[in-house]
Amino acid sequence: MSDVKKVVLAYSGGLDTSVILKWLEDTYGCEVVTFTADLGQGEELEPARTKAEAMGVKEIYIEDLREEFVRDFVFPMFRANTVYEGEYLLGTSIARPLIAKRLIEIANETGADAISHGATGKGNDQVRFELGAYALKPGVKVIAPWREWDLLSREKLLNYAAEHNIPIERHGKKSPYSMDANLLHISYEGGVLEDTWAEHEEEMWRWSVSPEAAPDQPTYLELTYRQGDIVAINDQPMSPATVLAELNRIGGANGIGRLDIVENRFVGMKSRGCYETPGGTIMLKAHRAIESITLDREVAHLKDELMPRYAEIIYNGFWWSPERAMLQQMIDASQANVNGVVRLKLYKGNVIVVGRKSDDSLFDAAIATFEDDAGAYDQADAAGFIKLNALRMRIAASKGRKLL
């Protein structure tokens, strides 16, 4: 007899999680609590409630987490200028720790002794969900049906649904891609993308026009920063989620944010994915611009050295780890003076910085000028500076050391 009495399921109302709901009841003889999160995926969530009710679920959680998602997860990540493997802005990765957090909180609220998710045994998401869950509730049981059952195809899932009278909505032709969306991005995997030589299809993209179809006139916008976070667009104060939604709209209209990469999954395999991240692409460029005038050189360089490690921590699912918390404290401390305004020009897929200003700027025109600086910088001092930096190389060369 199963020792699981109640389980909290991350539930979308789609085919997979609807089958999981019934499978959990049948396999574990347990009560299921459903949790559906609005992270800005752009889908109506009330049908998930209707489906859960139709399947007899008594405790149903449907929550709007958009503001928390951007404020407490996306913005902190962008303070570090986080990019995985040089290109990926971690749109899927950063959503998982929030979902894990709420799964555990709901488990505590409802007295559940287990959580469950619909991630497959091949991907990164199983790792992200479960590392977060164990970090926040060490004794929790995690049920991952894709690692236990034999329903390993869409056809088998549909047959199971039919046999158990599980309501499944059909919306015509199914997309050939596996997609995941939230307010930061939408991802595409599978289908033609499994051939790394095949070009992605134009019809695949949902949020952005192609650069070729973008307007022939550039769009200008100004982003106001306070301690590393955007607080206004074109002088209009906005909440974090509103900022990201608006940047997605503007960026998508200008063909910004498309990415086609092959990445290294934590579980060991390579995977090709396409991503649309219009707002995030703008945010990264603008944040680096405001930091360029407000951060000390060595602080900026140290951040750049640590960023790949920080990105890997998030990608691999270790958001709720002591090393991420430690790095976040350092990153956030560096943002105290990252205040000001960045002016951007968006044009046919490009984000071009055309201006930046700040009351906390370290840029001093009187020193940097190519004109007479009135003695602010003694150019003769540079000779000694260069000789001291060359000393070790001069000594090595005088001892016969050869570099050519």
If DSSP codes are grouped into helix, strand and coil, which group holds residue 287?
Answer: helix
Catalytic residue, chosen from 116, 125, 272, 356, is 125
Predicted pLDDT at 174: 66
Domain ranges across the chain: 6-69+95-163, 178-295+337-356
Q: How far apart are CA 206 and CA 195, in angstroms?
A: 21
Collect the ranges in the chain with pLDDT lower than 70: 1-2, 169-174, 373
Helices marked H in 231-352: 240-253, 278-294, 297-315, 322-334
Q: What would the two tokens of residue 288 be?
A: 């680096």
State the residue for tokens 């490009």: 350
- Note if 210 is an active site residue: no
Predicted pLDDT at 115: 98
Predicted pLDDT at 1: 43
CATH code for residues 6-69+95-163: 3.40.50.620
Catalytic residue, chosen from 178, 292, 321, 361, is 178
**Model pTM above 0.75:** yes
- Dihedral sign computed on CA atoms, order 291, 293, 295, 298: positive
Predicted pLDDT at 170: 60
- Note if 178 is an active site residue: yes
pLDDT tens readout for residues 172-215: 556 788 889 999 999 999 999 999 999 999 999 999 999 999 99
If DSSP codes are grouped into helix, strand and coil, which group holds residue 170?
Answer: coil
User: What is the distance of C-alpha 176 from the center of its chain?
Assistant: 23
User: What is the distance of C-alpha 228 from the center of its chain?
Assistant: 17
- Note if 288 is an active site residue: no
Predicted pLDDT at 176: 82
Centre a 10 Å sphere on the Cβ of residue 180 and count the other Cβ atoms it contains.
17
- Note if 125 is an active site residue: yes
CATH superfamily of 178-295+337-356: Argininosuccinate synthetase, chain A, domain 2 (3.90.1260.10)
Q: Which residues contact 264 (CB under 8 A, 6 or more apart)?
A: 85, 270
Q: What is the DSSP letter of 376?
A: S
Closest CA to 31 of 105, 126, 110: 110
Closest CA to 244 of 99, 66, 45, 65: 66
